[in-house]
Amino acid sequence: MDSEIVLSADRIVARYGSIEALHGVSLTVKKGQIVALLGANGAGKSTTLRTLSGLLTASSGTVRFLGEDITRVPAHRLPHSGLVHVPEGRRIFGGMTVKENLDLGSFTLANDVERRRRMDHVFEIFPILARRQNGDASNLSGGEQQMLAIGRALMASPKVLLLDEPSMGLAPQLIKEVMNIVQRLNREGVTILLVEQNSKVALKFADYGYVLEAGRIVLEGPGSVLANDDAVIGAYLGNAA
């Protein structure tokens, strides 16, 4: 059971107009893992997540989720099946309360009781969101907005969470807090694909890692091996903080 593949990309090519950003990326994520996708600025990490979650359609190659070919399934249908993307930059909605932002994450649910149960779970994980639930989301700090973005994703009860740079712009103490939450979610059964520029942070938690460079996977291996690999540390990655 441990080695069950829940999400995979097989030689995906992705383009923005005439620019080819991914040149045949393959990766697998197994049930229960935290997998890190690392690489410098512009390497193609966000593009890979967008292609996995259907925001971009691969021009060739295949994306599979829970054994099904989802390469051409539109993004809005995937949260129903348990694949949820937390994009870079948080994308919370100002002018709406924290609670309303969370409600947007449960558009897959018709059932109010279940929605309430999930919101209580989110509030238990992020007590600050419970305290600020009726306040405008744009008044939250950067760290709180990141928590709201993750909380909103949890409202869809993800099986697999695609997290795009949750540490971006956060102070070290907050990065630690967010990563502890990522670890807790993983222990509660959520499989995680984590994009990070900060390889030190990501590899501390990752079971397995991939390194992207200019739209290609150039290295992969268990997190503990990559963490001690000078090539990873020196050649490919930024290691701020």
Residues lying near ligand ATP in the complex (CB under 6 A): 16, 19, 21, 39, 41-47, 88, 197
Angle between helix axes 172-187 and 112-125 (nearest 10 degrees) is: 130
Q: Which residue has the tokens 């997290």?
A: 163
Question: Helices (DSSP H) in 53-156: which residue ranges?
Answer: 78-81, 98-104, 112-125, 127-131, 142-154
In the complex, minimum distance from the CB of residue 133 to ligand ATP, in angstroms, rounded to a whole number: 31
In the complex, minimum distance from the CB of residue 12 to ligand ATP, in angstroms, rounded to a whole number: 12
Q: With contact defined as beta carbons under 8 Å apart, do 179 and 201 qualify?
A: yes
Tell me whether residue 88 or residue 207 sits nearer to ligand ATP (CB atom): 88
In the complex, minimum distance from the CB of residue 109 to ligand ATP, in angstroms, rounded to a whole number: 30
Q: Look at the chain and count its residues.
A: 241
Q: With contact defined as beta carbons under 8 Å apart, do 166 and 177 qualify?
A: no
In the complex, minimum distance from the CB of residue 44 to ligand ATP, in angstroms, rounded to a whole number: 4
Tell me whether residue 55 or residue 96 sits nearer to ligand ATP (CB atom): 55
- Going from the C-alpha of 214 to that of each of 33, 47, 48, 128, the distances in angstroms are 25, 11, 12, 39
In the complex, minimum distance from the CB of residue 160 to ligand ATP, in angstroms, rounded to a whole number: 19
In the complex, minimum distance from the CB of residue 200 to ligand ATP, in angstroms, rounded to a whole number: 16
Tell me whether residue 46 or residue 167 sits nearer to ligand ATP (CB atom): 46
Tell me whether residue 39 or residue 151 sits nearer to ligand ATP (CB atom): 39
Q: With contact defined as beta carbons under 8 Å apart, do 92 and 148 qualify?
A: yes
Tell me whether residue 39 or residue 209 sits nearer to ligand ATP (CB atom): 39
Per DSSP (E only), the strands in the chain are: 5-16, 19-30, 34-38, 60-65, 68-69, 83-86, 160-164, 191-196, 208-213, 216-222
Tell me whether residue 23 or residue 159 sits nearer to ligand ATP (CB atom): 23
- In the chain, the largest separation of any two C-alpha atoms, in whole Å, equals 51
Question: CA 145, CA 210: separation in Å to the nearest integer?
Answer: 27
- Tokens for 145? 């907005």
Tell me whether residue 151 or residue 215 sits nearer to ligand ATP (CB atom): 215
In the complex, minimum distance from the CB of residue 22 to ligand ATP, in angstroms, rounded to a whole number: 8
Alpha-carbon torsion, ordered 130, 133, 136, 139, to 10 deg: -10
